[in-house]
């Protein structure tokens, strides 16, 4: 069972608490927890030696852009496998547990 958490923002499907996976203090939300129309794939990437390469999303609504506001690990070879495709937030997105 995941940790129950909530992220505040218009870009999320549910303004309610949902099950997440916690890794290194970050809450990873299921991919269907975000409203894709508010996210655009970013050219930014970062590499973690044990989780692999992270891809980023820019988010935005009402004419405001939040560059690199969310990230995810798409590679199925990464560890831990339970966060593959799950989305974590930072840069202005408040996550509550």
pTM reported for the whole predicted model: 0.78
Rounded-to-5 percentages of helix, strand, coil across the chain:
10, 55, 35
- Cα(21)–Cα(15) distance, rounded to whole angstroms? 18
Find out whether 56 and 45 touch, Cβ atoms under 8 Å. Answer: yes
| CA end-to-end distance (rounded Å), the chain | 14
Residue 1's pLDDT is what?
A: 45
Residue 77's pLDDT is what?
A: 65
Of 2-11, 17-26, 84-93, give the lowest mean pLDDT range: 2-11
- pLDDT tens, 14-48? 455 678 888 888 888 888 888 788 888 999 999 98
User: Is residue 50 pLDDT above 90, yes or no?
Assistant: no
């Amino acid at each position: 069972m995941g940790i129950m958490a909530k992220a505040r923002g218009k870009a999320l499907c549910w303004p309610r608490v949902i099950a997440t996976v916690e890794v290194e203090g970050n809450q990873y939300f299921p991919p269907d927890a975000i409203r894709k129309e508010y996210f655009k794939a970013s050219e930014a990437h970062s590499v973690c030696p044990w989780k692999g390469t992270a891809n980023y999303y820019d988010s935005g609504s009402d004419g405001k852009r939040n560059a690199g506001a969310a990230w995810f690990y798409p590679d199925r070879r990464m560890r831990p496998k339970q966060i593959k495709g799950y989305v974590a937030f930072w840069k202005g997105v408040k996550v509550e547990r």
